[in-house]
Amino acid sequence: MKEADQSREGLLSSYDKAERTPMRKSLENAYRSDSDSDIDATDFLDRDPLNDQSQPAVEAYGPSRELANLRRVFARRSRCFFAILTILMIFWTVIAFGGFFLYRKAPKDGLSPPWYPTPPGGTSLKWQDSYKKAQVLVEKMTLAEKVNITTGTGWQMGLAVGNTGPAIHVGFPGLALQDGPLGLRFADNATAFPAGITVGATWNKELMYLRGKAHGLEARLKGINVLLGPCVGPLGRMPAGGRNWEGFGADPVLQGIAGALTIKGIQEEGIIATIKHFVGNEQEHFRQSWEWGLPNAISSNMDDRTLHEMYGWPFQDAVKAGVASVMCSYQMLNNSYSCGNSKLLNGILKDELGFQGFVQSDWLAQRSGVASALSGLDMSMPGDGLMWGRGNSLWGPELSKAVLNGSLPVSRLNDMVTRVVAAWYQLGQDDKSKFNGEGPNFSSWTSDRIGVINPGSPDDHDEKVVNQFINVQGSGADAHSIIARQVATEGIVLLKNEGILPLSKDGWPLSENREINMRVGIFGEDSGAGRGPNACVDRGCNQGTLGSGWGSGAVEFPYLTPPGEALVSAFNKDRVYVTDFPTNDPPLKQTPVILKQQDVCIVFVNADSGEGYMAYDGIRGDRNDLYAQKGGEGLIVKVASGCGDGEGSTIVVIHSVGPVVVDGWIDLPGVKAVVMANLPGQESGSAIADILLGNVNPSGKLPYTIGKSLEDYGPGAKILYYPNAAVPQQNFSEGLYIDYRHFDKEGIQPTFEFGFGLSYTTFEYSNLVVTEVLPKSALPAARTPGIDPPTYDDKIPDVSEALLPEGFRKLKKFVYPYITKTSDIKKGSYPYPVGYEIKQAPSEAGGDEGGNPDLWNTYATVSMDIKNTGSITGKEVVQLYLGFDRVQGAAKEVDFPRSVLRQFEKVELESGERQTVHFNLTRRDLSYWDVVQQNWVMPTEGSITIKVGASSRDFKLTGWY
């Protein structure tokens, strides 16, 4: 088997079509590639972190299966191998030289201006008590303890995927950080919740919150301090993006509301939530230095308005919700690494958005030492530096040196530490009745009961109980499987129904008095269990039914109910004869009776993707296209054409990470219904059976647009599969126009629009009322100053505070804060980054968590009535969009999308029942980001159109503000 390059988010493991070993056991011999990168010119380290580090030989992956097959062929022939190696070297050399010219063609706004120094935390009243407590603790810490808290201990140095050192003398524990967005990665006896994209498809605010709360509780009971989720970046600019499924949909408002409610649920359980990835991580190809054979990651280049109104919008919601941690992303933003981008972290996140918690790096996303600290990074994860599993940290002892030699202000380190400790207090983790300080009760690295705490070190031979196998899934009425099933069911979207659904568990209607039983045939590998949901490490293969994508956002399934099995059980066996063919290649030619005898055929197909550190079936992270995979489209055509000898009805069920093009088969006469089931998690079969048999009325709505082709989404929606420069450049020149906004602008008719979803009942909209609460005004109120942050004695400490204690036994590769000798400290004049001396004026868009408080004031309310005019109980998602087509004056010259989502509400109605739905529209909802005034501006002349309806193209009522 061939070893795949690993990232954290992610682990090295081998992937082929043979049997996999159990996930964590397979990691015992895993290692990172010796990945490295160039260092920022301003990293100011006293030594060159590249000393004694060899340059890796990393295989560059292309997007096609053909290239993967070629690589396997060439690997068997040494002569061909060396020939190919030479060709690749020439290729990358050409790319490097050609990239210089391409780099110069990058847009002028592809530069990130400096913003220094880092605004201190502790300026919000909501955090005042936590910062006071943190100040008392931090004042007592030694330099080594402060560095311990801000630097990870190293890859596989601790039981969690990320671990910090403790401040023992003041009683502050090391923190355990664990993936991920849909459950606890590498944990046993924990719930595999539906993925974020399924949560978004529910459009159900209550379920968004409840799923987060259950997730937070499981993390706490497993001994985790920091949960690495939810995920709102990628936003979904590219429909084939590998990790879109971890987020909630291709719209900033949907992402923002779902993310904020998830954070609320997680943090109510005392767990520090981490909103990620900040910002612009929209594709997997070239997202990380060296992962794809290039020394630098891709640069996502976007203008200021696009950043604020699109990619930054959900992060603003998260900060407003009180999120305690933000994870900066791997790639560059405007040609500056996100974890070292001072404008992004200092200027936007900490000043303008008023973020009070700590910024942590994605695993090895930190690319510089002092420079990243000055730019606003507060915690380095996992602590290793530029290379995996070496222990050569960019911080750790180097951070101690930087403070002692004066190249990093003591005030910056104090703020870094205080932000972490304040977050710990803010979430009540000092409460010993909920947090015992003993850390995780499970190991991320082995499934055995006994193991070592630090398997990444060859020196750790001290075996202990590392897995206590504590079940955190809840039981009875409190079982988290109930929430998981509700989310999976309400996240199913009915796309087409020509009267075939819902099916009856009893088969033919009794009124028809048929003498023979109904025959139902179930087809497709996606209907079955395959080799089990945990057959592949980090779910890194597509086999059996698809419950989640792959990568660090995936989890171990405690179980996964296959759809075929659930449907067989759900039908009345005395009246319905069900046969299940869980394969994409049933013997239809050899045994045509398989199809001819069916009255109803249900076809299951899927499309998978995940994180870019692993590849499967020619797909490395990002999908290669938008079609069903593994011959799914051909299977649909065969079944639909032959079901019941052409007289039967075919139902297609799709499990997918995102949009799937359906136009090649959806209009076939035999295709009577199509269901998009997204990624349902462990309750997959139960959920789809509930919908198909009418136990639950379908109420899901699409969290993205389904176009007729990838071309329909526009040039900006295409993955950059091959580098266009030494530093690949990805220009977000489409600005605000992604997904439905692009389709609206270009007048393209989608197959199914954003927000679309059918029901088994019908609804009537009426009586729209728009009420002005506050008068329009162009700019928000003046920024409020906030409270004073903690202050410290910022004198450089004595070198003794960082010296290695006498007799201390160090583990190899473990990251410690200690220096070994005083001669390591070389004091002198250290240059600071360009722009460091410029005094930055606080943003008028700031003032508290989430920005200027006036942005969150309600300026208008909207109410309307909705009635269930059908015969059964059902839920409807009422969606509110704004249009700026009637504004006048200067704002009229500003480019606005035709419609933008601003609010939604899901309502359950019995047959004949009517309810009134209320919406609040805030100043931010009614504003746009003005790049000149650097503030949110509300158009005051003319009127803003308010559109209420059932999708982005199905508006029932219109009003104006």
pLDDT digits (tens, 9 = 90+) for 649-664: 999 999 999 999 999 9
Which amino acid, residue 276? K
pLDDT for the residue numbered 75: 39
Query: Beta strand pairing status for 450-452 and 463-465?
Result: antiparallel
Nearest CA to 7 out of 389, 461, 457 is that of 389
- Phi and psi torsions of 568, nearest 5°: -60, -40
CB atoms within 10 A of CB 329: 27
Q: How far is CA 608 from the centre of its chain?
A: 15
The answer regarding whether domain 763-781+854-960 maps to CATH 2.60.40.10 reads yes
Query: Beta strand pairing status for 615-616 and 619-620?
Result: antiparallel
Q: Is the pLDDT of residue 121 over 50?
A: yes
Nearest CA to 231 out of 192, 196, 187 is that of 196
Whole-angstrom Cα distance, residue 676 to residue 659?
Answer: 9
pLDDT for the residue numbered 105: 45
What is the arithmetic mean of pLDDT over 304-312?
Answer: 98
419-475 confidence digits (pLDDT tens): 999 999 999 999 999 999 899 999 999 999 999 999 999 999 999 999 999 999 999
Least confident window among 54-63, 507-516, 581-590, 754-763:
54-63
Q: How far is CA 875 from the centre of its chain?
A: 27
pLDDT for the residue numbered 3: 32
3-state class (DSSP) for residue 194: coil
Q: Is the pLDDT of residue 103 over 60?
A: no
Whole-angstrom Cα distance, residue 555 to residue 196?
Answer: 13
816-856 confidence digits (pLDDT tens): 999 999 998 988 888 889 899 998 999 999 999 999 999 99
236-260 confidence digits (pLDDT tens): 999 999 999 999 999 999 999 999 9
Residues 406 and 830: beta-carbon distance below 8 Å: yes
What beta strand segments (E) does 503-575 contain? 518-523
CB atoms within 10 A of CB 945: 19
Q: Is the pLDDT of residue 73 over 80?
A: no
Q: Is the pLDDT of residue 790 over 70?
A: yes
599-624 confidence digits (pLDDT tens): 999 999 999 999 999 999 999 999 99
Residues 603 and 583: beta-carbon distance below 8 Å: no
- Asked if the peptide bond before residue 180 counts as cis, ω within 30 degrees of 0, the response is yes
In percent, the amount of the chain with pLDDT more than 90 equals 84
Q: Please, which pLDDT band fits residue 513 given cuts at 50, 70 and 90?
A: confident
- Classify residue 886 by burial, with Cβ atoms within 10 Å: 0-12, 13-18, 19+: middle
Q: Is the pLDDT of residue 494 over 80?
A: yes
Whole-angstrom Cα distance, residue 488 to residue 811?
Answer: 45
Whole-angstrom Cα distance, residue 950 to residue 956?
Answer: 7
In percent, the amount of the chain with pLDDT more than 70 equals 89
DSSP 348: I
Residue with the two structure tokens 């008023």: 354
What is the arithmetic mean of pLDDT over 86-95?
Answer: 50
Q: Is the pLDDT of residue 705 over 50?
A: yes
What beta strand segments (E) does 636-696 contain? 649-656, 671-676
Residues with a catalytic annotation lie at 362
pLDDT for the residue numbered 916: 98
Q: Is the pLDDT of residue 39 over 70?
A: no
Q: How far is CA 253 from the centre of its chain?
A: 15
Geometric angle at alpha carbon 378, from 151 and 425, rounded to 5°:
90
Nearest CA to 268 out of 323, 230, 316, 228 is that of 323
Least confident window among 103-112, 318-327, 484-493:
103-112
The enclosing H or E element of 867 equals: strand 858-868
What is the pTM assigned to this prediction? 0.91
Whole-angstrom Cα distance, residue 400 to residue 798?
Answer: 11
3-state class (DSSP) for residue 868: strand
pLDDT for the residue numbered 509: 84
Bridge partners of 868?
Answer: 763
Nearest CA to 367 out of 353, 352, 356, 377 is that of 377
CB atoms within 10 A of CB 930: 19
Which amino acid, residue 752? F
Whole-angstrom Cα distance, residue 95 to residue 865?
Answer: 60
Residues 537 and 615: beta-carbon distance below 8 Å: no
DSSP 94: H
- Classify residue 958 by burial, with Cβ atoms within 10 Å: 0-12, 13-18, 19+: middle
The class of domain 480-705 in CATH terms is alpha beta
Q: Say how many CA atoms lie within 13 Å of 601 toward its Cβ.
A: 30
| Domain regions of the chain by residue span | 480-705, 763-781+854-960
What is the full DSSP assignment across 224-278? -SEEE--B--S--SSTT-TTGGGSS-SSHHHHHHHHHHHHHHHHHTT-EEEEEEE
545-582 confidence digits (pLDDT tens): 999 999 999 999 999 999 999 999 999 999 999 999 99
515-534 confidence digits (pLDDT tens): 899 999 999 999 999 999 99
Residue ranges of the alpha helices (H) in 105-244?
128-139, 143-150, 196-202, 205-221
Whole-angstrom Cα distance, residue 685 to residue 692?
Answer: 11
Whole-angstrom Cα distance, residue 513 to residue 575?
Answer: 11
CB atoms within 10 A of CB 837: 10
Whole-angstrom Cα distance, residue 960 to residue 432?
Answer: 53
pLDDT for the residue numbered 510: 79
Residue ranges of the alpha helices (H) in 623-663?
632-642
Q: How many residues does the chain have?
A: 961
- Phi and psi torsions of 344, nearest 5°: -70, -50
CB atoms within 10 A of CB 295: 15
* Packing angle, helices 65-75 and 78-104, rounded to 10: 140
Report in angstroms the alpha-carbon separations of 853 from 226, 764, 784: 27, 37, 8
Whole-angstrom Cα distance, residue 448 to residue 28?
Answer: 12
Q: Is the pLDDT of residue 797 over 50?
A: yes
Report in angstroms the alpha-carbon separations of 467 from 159, 222, 451, 453, 775: 9, 10, 8, 11, 60
Q: What average pLDDT does the structure give for the chain?
A: 90
Residues 330 and 365: beta-carbon distance below 8 Å: yes
pLDDT for the residue numbered 89: 55
pLDDT for the residue numbered 12: 31
